[in-house]
Amino acid sequence: MGMMGGGMAGGWSSNLGGGGSGPRSSWASSASMSDGWDNEYGSLYNPRLVRRFGRYIEPHKRPLLAAIIANAVFAVAFNIQVLVVYRALQGALDNGVLSELNRIAIAFGVIVAVSWAAEFLRQWLMANVGHPILRRMRQEVFDHLMRLEHRFYDRGEVGAIMSRVTSDVQVLQEMLTSGVLTVIGDIFGLAIIMVVMLIIDWQLALVSFAVLPILIVSMAWWSKRARRAFLETRVAIAAVNSTLNEDLNGVRVVQSLNRESENARRFDRINNWNLRATRRAGLLSAAIMPLVEILIALATALIIVVAALRLSGGSLDEAAGVAAIIAFAIGIQRFFDPVRDLVLQYTMFQRAMAGAERVFEVLDTDPEIEDAPDARDLPDVTGHVQFDNVSLEYVDGVRVLFDLDLEVQPGETVALVGETGAGKTSITSLITRNYEVTEGAVRIDGHDVREVTRASLVQRVGVVLQDPFLFSGTVLDNILYGNLNATREQAISAAAVVGADEWIERLPQSYDTPLAERAQNLSIGQRQLIAFARAILSDPRILVLDEATANVDSQTEALIQQAIARVLRGRTAFVIAHRLSTIRSVDRIIVLEYGRILEQGSHQELLELDGEYAKLYRMMYAAQESVEFDEDAALAVLDRMRERVQANGAAAANGANAGAESNEPALALD
């Protein structure tokens, strides 16, 4: 939308396509609000970035060259029209011979045809070059993002990363599909029209050129202001849309807390900010066209006066003089248009450079974990897992696991217990090599996880996370996510194993029921059961349940517990759970503290040990460390609040009706 002003000033053509392009979907990436608005514009030309573009352009060298030639041909053909008009008029005025007029009309016709062909060729070639380049770039960024590991995502926000792939590439699209060639075309065009004008009458040409500095200076001033104004409109509309989106998602809370009118006021404030920003931008975009028109008229007037002076002085041939006036009247527009256009493109180039910078930044982030060159596939395993003296640092020097030794036998179920930050998830993340160990080794059936391919590794390890993330698509699609080669029957039996088949079949379209956004048409428990089915579909030997039952209600948890009992049979399992009752029956409980194993053993053994686990277990129902504060004082504060509110309420009730009207923004709707 930023170029809307430019589009309007630049003529209708760019509006014709305006419907679909531009960051209309800005609300979707509104999370990126904090991201990059200040880096919206880069330097005009960055040789390093341009060189990198070279790699994308390389395969399209020839069509691109052809497009540039076509562009030059067009510029010549288009601007030479002015010269032809001049000659035609001069001829006609000089001797009134009609045959010459015919010849010139034919010549003109040819030129028009040539410029049509060149222009068509240029646009056709660019469509063929630009879109594939963009597609390639998008795909590369996406594939690269998929290759980056947990460590990268721990840092960044999804919204910010998303805007790299969407809006930043979008800006590059503008530049690639129209920007670059427009600029080249403008430069060609400008050069040629100047030559044409000089040929027709160099003195009149110089007079017209004299207006140019005014145009450039005022355009530069304008563009600087406009840039800021349009940036503000983009930020403002993003704020409007994200507020709307958030309050829509939270509408139930809003209503239960009586926030409607307060929220309406706040929304109005942001909406109003957007209104003011767009009006300011409107002021600027409305100003540019008239300015150019006035300057064109000024130049035309100067030409007439100068021509008239010279005609009356006799220093200018009469026919040539009048023909020149007419030719200049037409040509001056073609002289001003590219200049104005170049100034507008300047801003776009800056945005494109900043966008490119961000895109390449993603591509330059190397994945830290990649398959070793000689990595083999992990063969069928029994599920023996060994942590051999493992240490882990997420950040250099900050250790989260210390010399961990742990051996888990095939078919054994171990539970990891400990406070947040004790290292439970760190341990399970190492099994699928989401992070690289700092020291030591993790082995599955004796194979170091660093020596096997990740693809084969994850196939043997099923993971169920606390947040059962489901993808859009049907219920079946989501179960099949665990194993793309599985049949429908296998998926259904996986669902049956976890006890989900019964309610899935009651869904409107059973397994083919499409899921709403974020699977909100299912309860958390149902989502989690699908995630379970998904995890066991590939029949993994090792299963990781990372707080898999944390978010479900106890009724669903009971169901899941039954499912787990069935699913764990014959598999090695790592279970992380806060609720100790859920892990009482596991083979071995490992109690962690600050990245070290504190104690381990069965539930009964640990209770008898009367150590940390026993303490945790008791605390489950009987925590003693009550938080000390003066409860009566706090209650007294709230009592005073009640009195204050009641007093205010009584006062407000009187003036409420009068006040309510004026407080609401002008919304005389229905």
Partner 1 sequence: MTALTANAPSGRRLRVPLSILVIGRVLRFALPYWKGLTITAIAILATAGFAMATPWLLRWAIDTAISTNLVEGETVISITGWLVAVAGLALVGAAVLRGASMFVQRYLAEWVGQTVAYDLRNAIYQRLQTLSFRFHDGAETGQIMVRATQDVEVVRMFINFGGVQLTFTLVLGIGTLAIMLAINWQLALMVWAFLMIIAIRSAFVSRRLRPIWNDVQESQAQLGTVLQEALSGIRVVKAFGRAEFEGEKFGKAAGFLQRRSYDASMVQAVNMPMMTMLGAAAIVVTIWYGGREVVNGNFTVGELTMFLMFLTVLQMPIRGVGWMVMMVPRAATAGVRIFEILDQESEVQEREGAVAPAHPQGHIKFDQVSFAYDPRSPVLGGIDFEAKPGELIALLGLTGSGKSTVVNLIPRFYDVSAGRVSFDDQDVRDWPLEALRQQVAIVQQEVFLFAASLKENIAYGRPDATDEEIEAAAKLARIHNFVQRLPDGYDTWVGERGANFSGGQKQRIAIARALLMDPRVLIFDDSTSSVDAATEFEIQQAMAALMRGRTTFVIAHRLRSLREADQILVLDQGQIVQRGQHEDLLQQGGLYSEIYELELRDQESAQTAEPLEAAAVGGSS
For residues 73 and 406, which CB has a smaller minimum distance to partner 1 in the complex?
73
Does position 375 bind partner 1 by CB under 8 A?
no
Cβ-based neighbour number of residue 311 at 10 Å: 17
Taking the complex as a whole, the smallest distance from the CB of residue 444 to partner 1 amounts, in Å, to 15
For residues 324 and 406, which CB has a smaller minimum distance to partner 1 in the complex?
324
Taking the complex as a whole, the smallest distance from the CB of residue 551 to partner 1 amounts, in Å, to 7
For residues 350 and 560, which CB has a smaller minimum distance to partner 1 in the complex?
560
For residues 260 and 505, which CB has a smaller minimum distance to partner 1 in the complex?
260
Q: Which residue in 581, 587, 599, 609 binds partner 1 (CB under 8 A)?
A: 581
H runs (alpha helix) in 148-201: 150-155, 158-163, 169-174, 180-200
Q: Which residue in 50, 217, 220, 645 binds partner 1 (CB under 8 A)?
A: 645
**Secondary structure class of 474 (helix, strand, coil):** strand
Mind giving me the DSSP string for 378-445? -------EEEEEEEEEEETTEEEEEEEEEEE-TT-EEEEE-STTSSHHHHHHHHTTSS--SEEEEEET
Q: Which residue in 59, 132, 421, 659 binds partner 1 (CB under 8 A)?
A: 132
Q: Which residue in 65, 253, 647, 651 binds partner 1 (CB under 8 A)?
A: 253
**Secondary structure class of 306 (helix, strand, coil):** helix
Cβ-based neighbour number of residue 499 at 10 Å: 17
Mind giving me the DSSP string for 197-217? HHHH-HHHHHHHHHHHHHHHH
Q: Which residue in 61, 62, 279, 566 binds partner 1 (CB under 8 A)?
A: 279
The footprint of partner 1 on this chain (CB under 8 A) covers a number of residues equal to 202
Residues 501-520 that bind partner 1 (CB under 8 A): 516-517
Q: Which residue in 57, 63, 66, 150 binds partner 1 (CB under 8 A)?
A: 150
Residues 333-362 that bind partner 1 (CB under 8 A): 333
Does position 585 bind partner 1 by CB under 8 A?
no
Sheet hosting strand 572-576, strand order edge to edge: 461-464, 542-546, 572-576, 413-417, 588-593, 596-601
Does position 635 bind partner 1 by CB under 8 A?
yes
**CA separation for the pair 117, 643 (Å, rounded):** 82
Taking the complex as a whole, the smallest distance from the CB of residue 304 to partner 1 amounts, in Å, to 5
CA distance to 127, 235, 354, 591, per residue, from 165 (Å): 20, 18, 13, 43
Q: What letter does residue 517 receive in the DSSP assignment?
A: G
- Write the burial class of residue 318 (CB in 10 Å: 0-12 exposed, 13-18 middle, 19+ buried): exposed
Does position 146 bind partner 1 by CB under 8 A?
yes
State which amino acid sits at residue 415.
Answer: A
Does position 395 bind partner 1 by CB under 8 A?
no
* Site stretch for partner 1 (CB under 8 A), options 60-68, 195-203, 250-258, 353-361: 250-258
Residues 451-480 that bind partner 1 (CB under 8 A): 454-455, 457-459, 461-463, 465, 469-472
Does position 203 bind partner 1 by CB under 8 A?
no
Does position 60 bind partner 1 by CB under 8 A?
no
Does position 416 bind partner 1 by CB under 8 A?
no
Phi-psi region of 421 (alpha: psi -120 to 50; beta: other; left: phi over 0): left
Does position 235 bind partner 1 by CB under 8 A?
no
**CA separation for the pair 554, 552 (Å, rounded):** 6
Q: Which residue in 274, 426, 528, 600 binds partner 1 (CB under 8 A)?
A: 274
**CA separation for the pair 585, 577 (Å, rounded):** 13
Does position 576 bind partner 1 by CB under 8 A?
no
Binding mask 613-632 for partner 1 (x = CB under 8 A): ---xxxxxxxxxxxx-x-x-
**CA separation for the pair 178, 16 (Å, rounded):** 14
* Site stretch for partner 1 (CB under 8 A), options 100-108, 203-211, 388-396, 486-494: 100-108
Q: Which residue in 268, 436, 445, 593 binds partner 1 (CB under 8 A)?
A: 268
